[in-house]
Amino acid sequence: MDQGRYKSLLALGSEQVPFGVYAIEKNGRAEMRIDHCKSITQLKNLIRQFKAAGYKVYANGR
């Protein structure tokens, strides 16, 4: 997948999840997610879990 399409998919995911994690990336591969969070604490904990596993996290609401 080329870089332009990759960025457009991330933008689309960002629109779908106003407060939560919408994508994670590791080793050049991205996984689109729909992890809605109810609080900042829940969002931060989710981000920490993914980062501890070595993922780059794309999230809204931080």
The yes-or-no verdict on residue 1 having pLDDT over 80 is: no
pTM: 0.88
pLDDT digits 0-9 by tens, 8-60:
999 999 999 999 999 999 998 999 999 999 999 999 999 999 999 999 999 99
Q: Give Cα 54 distance to the centre of its chain.
A: 13
Ordered DSSP codes for 8-54: HHHHHHHHH-SSEEEEEEETTEEEEEEEE-SSHHHHHHHHHHHHHTT
Q: Which two tokens stand for residue 62?
A: 């931080």
Cα angle 28, 33, 34 (rounded to 5 degrees) comes to: 160
